[in-house]
Amino acid sequence: MGVSAAPSSNKLLATLPPAIYERLKPNLKLVPLELGASVYEAGGKQPYVYFPANAIVSLLYVMQDGASAEIAVVGTEGLVGISLFMGGETTPSRAVVQSAGQAYRLRSKLLQQEFAIGGALQHLLLRYTQALITQMAQTAVCNRHHSIEQQLCRWLLLSADRLPTNEINMTRNSLPTCSGCGARA
């Protein structure tokens, strides 16, 4: 696993007011995220949220026939599991580790309780959710209107922006597929 990442490696955790961070800190557990591992499955219960410290997780929308398309990527800027504080117990998306690393895991019930208090944490998570929705909209437009080469460039830049170094570790199978034809970038 290498060197352990500090909670401040995640920008959401680093931005929390000290009092909120101190309430959450004893419940944050550093866990490894292995390349290709599923963080959660579509329709499944999500007992935890994950704050990536030096990993990237792809959010994939899963259709009834099992086909999927990447809708967003989450790295050190965010968290995996927004549906848990937005009122849902499950989600139609699947979360898969795109670039191995570590994340801080927190029981979803604890985040839900803190979110319900309102204030700084709720505001921060709602702003993050707005940014994630914007990324999803940009991904949809890119997938519809850009060439496979342009999609790959965008995906590489999104990945590079979310890693602590310029090194991206991935396999050919972890590259996104074209939503129109299924070809790998």
Q: For residue range 117-174, list pLDDT tens digits in order.
A: 999 999 999 999 998 888 877 766 666 665 666 656 666 666 666 666 666 665 556 5
* Separation of alpha carbons 53 and 8, rounded Å: 8
pTM: predicted TM-score of the whole model, two decimal places: 0.81
* Separation of alpha carbons 142 and 154, rounded Å: 8
Residue 181 clears pLDDT 50, i.e. is over it: no
Q: Specify which of 63-72, 79-88, 155-164, 169-178 reaches the highest per-range mean pLDDT.
A: 79-88
Per-residue model confidence (pLDDT) at position 183: 46
* Contact (CB, 8 A) for 49 and 84: yes
Q: What percent of the chain has pLDDT over 70?
A: 74
Residue 34 clears pLDDT 70, i.e. is over it: yes
- pLDDT tier at 28 (50, 70, 90 boundaries)? very high
Residue 114 clears pLDDT 60, i.e. is over it: yes
Per-residue model confidence (pLDDT) at position 57: 93
Backbone φ and ψ of 60, nearest 5°: -115, 130
Per-residue model confidence (pLDDT) at position 133: 87
CB contact set of 96 (below 8 Å; sequence gap of 6+): 36, 37, 38, 39, 57, 58, 60
Identify which has the larger pLDDT, 177 or 36. Answer: 36
- pLDDT tier at 179 (50, 70, 90 boundaries)? very low
